[in-house]
Amino acid sequence: MRLVIVSNRLPFTVSFKEGMPEFKTSSGGLSTGLSSYLRQASAGSANRPDYFWLGWPGASVAAGHEAAVRKYGEDEFKCAPVFLPEESMERFYHGFCNKTIWPLFHYFPMLAQYDEECWAEYRNVNRIFGEAVVNALRPDDTVWVHDYHLMLLPRLIREKFPDMPIGFFLHIPFPSYELFRMMPRAWREEVIEGLLGSSLIGFHTHDYTRDFLTSVLRTAGYEHQLGSLALRDRVVKVDTFPMGVDFDRFYNAAASPETDTKVSELREKCAGQKVIFSVDRLDYTKGIINRLRGYDIFLKNNPQWRGRVVFIVAVAPSRIGVESYQAMKLELEQMVGRITGAYGTVQWSPLIYQYRNLSFEEIVALYRLCDTALITPLRDGMNLVAKEFVASRPDQKGVLILSEMAGAAKEMGEALIINPFYCEDFAKALE
């Protein structure tokens, strides 16, 4: 049996420099999570999992370079790229995925846009993926489709392979029906029908599972029995599967001599100060602005900590072509400047702001260094950063302050759980 993984992005990304393709490993949570699973499944096993991975390579690829991208994917990752024209990615990815599904499913309905052309392109890209998958399948394969980009795909595969085992996993929240119904009726009906093409549908938390089952009932009329939906011709199972991280990878890296050296160097720079650390990609769902407001309140209410604490704020660039993200970056940097100006001195800065992609080694060293990790999204499907922090502490020290709106909060009850919308909670937790 072969496992066929299908996701919007592959475990590698292609870019072009002076017209020539360059390749690098993808850093997204989905890619790293699946790569970790495949790596662990292969370790120490004579029966390495037979798998094949289809997805978009991260850029529009000219016909003359498609063969090179295919060869790299096959040789390095057992992957096959699904090539999409640039205009498709604009309406499909930047349009429907990022301007409709992402805000709506993360409980920001006021930011959701409903554009008929973007919806049409979403359907078109799912059809393109469907053709690529169908052409690659063998009769005894099992298909595993991932995330909100491809919610129509299970039904498209089912039409060609009626008996194929098809799994689907959603890596973001599934919203309550009151939000889901804000999507035009025909769209939401097609999304539910698409997902019900699966044999098994998985979510990070019981809340998301419950909300999905409610939407199925209200949209398609199917009532579940203990998470099973009896369709006309088959049964669809819906369940909860919290995603984890590669514990050994983080633990071993954190315990390495190289990390010890890096942490010692950082401690010298932060001598005599408690260190708070947060790392996110730039996104309004991550709660970075509220986090800084909470830190501002903490410094205002606790002047004795001025000069004795530093907050390292790492923000990875994301969706830099989207206007709302550009506006958020400007607001974020204005707030960093205001807090630094209000409390900083010649000898001390309350914040260290890093707007760049940190390396794996840098992140692990900062997990080890910090006294407190501040992981406070306004809404998050799981948030693997919280689990990475715990895995990176072989000393079993450090405090995790975690948003109750993160899926991880359902499992990590020993953290300090706060409401990320109430900035006073940040100050109280830090105290």
Q: What is the 3-state secondary structure (H, E, C) of 72-93?
A: HHHHHHCEEECCCCHHHHHHHH
Q: Are residues 35 and 97 in the same domain?
A: yes
Question: Considering only CA atoms, which of 90, 80, 34 is closest in space to residue 57?
Answer: 80
For the purposes of burial, counting CB atoms within 10 Å of the CB of 388, is it exposed (0-12), middle (13-18) or buried (19 or more)? Answer: buried
Q: Are residues 302 and 230 in the same domain?
A: no
Q: Are residues 129 and 42 in the same domain?
A: yes
Domain extent at residue 336: 248-430
User: Residues of the chain whose pLDDT is less than 70?
Assistant: 18, 26-29, 31-33, 35-36, 39-48, 62-63
What is the pLDDT at residue 376? 98
What is the pLDDT at residue 162? 97
Q: Are residues 222 and 272 in the same domain?
A: no
Q: Are residues 364 and 414 in the same domain?
A: yes
**Structure token pair of residue 373:** 């990790």
Q: Are 37 and 176 in contact (CB under 8 A)?
A: no
The SS3 call for residue 309 is: strand
Q: In sequence order, what are the beta bridge partners of 3? A: 51, 142
Q: Could you please report the per-residue DSSP string of 130-167?
A: HHHHHHH--TT-EEEEESGGGTTHHHHHHHH-TT--EE
CATH number at residue 363: 3.40.50.2000
CA distances from 25 to 13, 50, 78, 283, 349 (A): 6, 21, 14, 21, 34
Q: Are residues 215 and 309 in the same domain?
A: no
211, 240, 269 - which closes a domain: 240
What is the pLDDT at residue 87? 85
What is the pLDDT at residue 32? 66
**Structure token pair of residue 318:** 């994301």
CA distance 280 to 386: 11
Q: Are 185 and 160 in contact (CB under 8 A)?
A: no
240, 259, 282 - which closes a domain: 240
Number of domains in the chain: 2
**Residues present in the chain in total:** 431
What is the pLDDT at residue 48? 60
Q: In sequence order, what are the beta bridge partners of 24? A: 13
Angle between helices 116-136 and 185-195 (to 10 degrees): 20
What is the pLDDT at residue 179? 98
200, 219, 240 - which closes a domain: 240
Q: Are residues 315 and 415 in the same domain?
A: yes
What is the pLDDT at residue 347? 93
Which phi and psi angles does 352 have, rounded to 5°?
A: -120, 110
Residue range 100-111, pLDDT digits in tens: 999 999 999 999
Q: Could you please report the per-residue DSSP string of 25-53?
A: E--SHHHHHHHHHHHHHHTT-SS---EEE
Q: Are residues 109 and 205 in the same domain?
A: yes
**Structure token pair of residue 167:** 């799994």
CA distance 130 to 142: 15
Residue range 210-250, pLDDT digits in tens: 999 999 999 999 999 999 999 999 999 999 999 999 999 99
What is the pLDDT at residue 16? 73
pTM confidence score: 0.93
Q: Are residues 161 and 229 in the same domain?
A: yes
CA distance 139 to 134: 10
What is the pLDDT at residue 44? 52
What is the pLDDT at residue 71? 84
Q: Are residues 213 and 316 in the same domain?
A: no
What is the pLDDT at residue 27? 63
CA distance 430 to 294: 9
Q: Are residues 157 and 298 in the same domain?
A: no
What is the pLDDT at residue 62? 66
Q: In sequence order, what are the beta bridge partners of 375? A: 402
350 DSSP assignment: S
Distance of CA 381 to the CA centre of its chain: 8
Q: Are residues 188 and 223 in the same domain?
A: yes
